[in-house]
Amino acid sequence: MRRIVLAIGAALLLVSHAQARIVEEQSDLPVEVVDAYGKKIAQSIKLTVFRDDAAAGPQPVLVINHGRAADPQDRVALGRARYSDNARWFVQQGFVVAVPTRIGYGVSGGEDVEDTGACNNKRYPPGYAAAAQQTLQVLAALRGRAQVRKDRSVVIGQSYGGATAVTVASLNPEGVVAAINFAGGGGGNPKTQPERPCAPQRLEAMFRDYGATAKVPMLWVYTENDKYFGPSYPKEWFEAFRKAGGTAEFVQFPPHGDDGHSLFSAFPAVWRPAVVEFLRKQGFEMKDLKDAKEGAK
């Protein structure tokens, strides 16, 4: 394997992988958001982009949004969001992949613009709106690149990032043609209240409102042993979304590991066949999976 290190502002890592030459690059992206209290906040966030340096022609962009730890110190300790294994896999599937570290997390730092209040008085929508605002600004920045298609984007996310993907879908932004929600929700804490998220009925109402406006096709992916949200609440949230008019498919896998909430990172062979099938339905030319049978483990 041939490895070349490039220097373009921040460190760039070039890795030969089959026919692809996968570049990982970092940059600081200025963003502006409004928090739950109406305060406008402007700062830069760290954006990590993975792309195939040998790709011919512009490619669709795929944004991966990270989750939200229950403890503030863990949010600070996030470092730089990467999801490198899954990001590289999506690059091999033909995407330019963007992974933002949002305001209030890790290397981006800043105020907690996604704060939704105390457990007994949650106001969820403003927190997800702040995350969605950042996602839309990431998409706008990427579409300015020559190697990125402006008309074919996918937004996905894990946990809080998964619910953010639903939020983005409810806004029907131009060029976003699919969204994937991995273990999406909020207000969960497996240490203090396993499988009992704060104010789940308010999340259900939020997803119902999203379903009334969302036109973007979605895939929702959960597990039966999600320690944050349990096996039942995600089904209720999905049904509220769907009955309100949202277009989505729901997949709930059997238990995996000690906490299936980490399915996206810990068990990629399980969900990749479902994602390939879903994205093919949306017109993407996905490659066949050699490890598809491993998903039964």
The string of pLDDT tens digits covering residues 233-261 is: 999 999 999 999 999 999 999 999 999 99
pLDDT in tens, 66-95: 999 999 999 999 999 999 999 999 999 999
In this predicted structure, the answer to whether residue 4 has a pLDDT above a threshold of 80 is no
CA atoms within 13 A on the CB side of 18: 8
Average pLDDT score over residue span 108-121: 95
Structure-token pair, residue 36: 């739950």
Specify the higher pLDDT residue, 86 or 56. Answer: 86
Please indicate, yes or no, if residue 196 is contained in any of the structural domains. yes
Whether 3 has a pLDDT exceeding 90, the answer reads no
The model's pLDDT over 17-28, given as tens digits with 9 standing for 90+, comes to 345 689 999 999
When mean pLDDT is compared across 2-11, 26-35, 71-80, the lowest value belongs to 2-11
Residue 5 lies in a domain: no
- The arithmetic mean of pLDDT across residues 37-48, rounded, is 96
**pLDDT computed for residue 19 by the predictor:** 52
For residue 176, is pLDDT > 70?
A: yes
Contact 214, 206 (CB under 8 A): no
Span 184-201, pLDDT tens digits: 999 999 999 999 999 999
**Phi and psi at residue 35, in whole multiples of 5°?**
-85, -175
User: What is the model's pTM?
Assistant: 0.91
CA distance 33 to 131: 8
**The pLDDT value given to residue 13:** 40
* Between 260 and 10, residue with greater pLDDT: 260
CATH of the domain at 43: 3.40.50.1820
Chain mean pLDDT for the chain: 91
Domain range for 213: 27-296
Residue 9 falls inside a structural domain: no
- Flag whether 40 is in a domain: yes
Q: Is residue 39 part of a domain?
A: yes
Q: What is the mean pLDDT of residues 218-223?
A: 98
Residue 6 belongs to some domain of the structure: no
151 within a domain of the structure (yes/no)? yes
Q: Give how many domains the chain has, as a whole number.
A: 1
pLDDT, tens digit (0-9, with 9 covering 90-100), for 130-163 = 999 999 999 999 999 999 999 999 999 999 999 9
| DSSP letter for each residue of 187-248 | S-BTTTBTT--SSHHHHHHHHHHHHHH--S-EEEEEETT-TTTTTTHHHHHHHHHHHTT--E
Query: Is the residue at 12 inside a domain?
Result: no
